[in-house]
Amino acid sequence: MLTLHRAELLYPGDGASVAPADSAGPSAAGPSAAGAVLVDGAVLVDGAAVAAIGPFAELAAGSPARVREWPGVLVPGLLNRHGAWLLEGVYHPDPREGIGEQPLPLADGLTDGQWGGSARRGLQRLLGHGVTALTGPFARAAVRTAVGRSGLRTAPGAPGTATAPGPLDPLAAGPLAAAPHRPLTVGGAADFAVFAVRTVEELDGGGAVCLATVLDGRLLHRRR
């Protein structure tokens, strides 16, 4: 099935060969945008892959694709470089425990089931920040299983980075230009996220609301 994801702004990331629509003003591009930024841009998804990137009007013309319209900025899926620490160095509470949703220092004696449950909740919270890839490796079998079933990609990181403390939100650790796992490219994986901001620059420093996270063309997170 073809799906056309339309956004007010589209930031494909470095290396994307797209031409920005005619526009002027600070919303079209900024210092954090290392590549082109499209106004009223779109990503055409065919199954798990990106079939086309460009202005919405051009991609929609005569296309049978289902259209999803998103407010805000569409960016490549983000990489969290602290994956091992976030899944094995802290505990992600179940909301039914009544102790909030922020990661907590680990208590002693967690069972494999508790490790797996914590990892699954952590992975869902990562998706809620636009994350489609994270760094490992993971020492615990229950965590490895949770990561494998989640569909999130694993990536190598700098030595020691994965086990160092860090935020769930990769944008809180640096600028957008350094946060994507890889750019959106035609023929590449359909991994991207949409944030409720009006300019690309607003993403630098984190804190933006993630409206949707798409991984291999599947909508795995959608803010209600």
pLDDT score recorded for residue 156: 86
Domain span at residue 194 reads 2-77+180-222
Residue 218 and residue 4 in contact, taking contact as beta carbons nearer than 8 Å: no
Counted domains in the chain: 2
Q: Could you tell me if 98 and 163 lie in one domain?
A: yes
pLDDT score recorded for residue 174: 87
Q: Could you tell me if 84 and 30 lie in one domain?
A: no
Which residue in the block uniquely carries the two structure tokens 């990562």?
126
Q: Could you report how far apart the first and last alpha carbons of the chain are, in Å? A: 24
* Full pLDDT tens readout for the chain, 224 residues: 899 999 999 999 975 444 433 433 333 333 333 458 999 999 999 999 999 999 999 999 989 999 999 999 999 999 999 999 999 999 999 888 877 778 888 766 789 999 999 999 999 999 999 999 999 999 999 999 999 999 999 998 888 889 999 999 999 988 999 999 999 999 999 999 999 999 999 999 999 999 999 999 999 999 98
Residue 76 and residue 192 in contact, taking contact as beta carbons nearer than 8 Å: yes
Q: Could you tell me if 113 and 48 lie in one domain?
A: no
CATH of the domain at 18: 2.30.40.10
Q: Could you tell me if 57 and 85 lie in one domain?
A: no
pLDDT score recorded for residue 191: 98
Q: Could you tell me if 84 and 168 lie in one domain?
A: yes
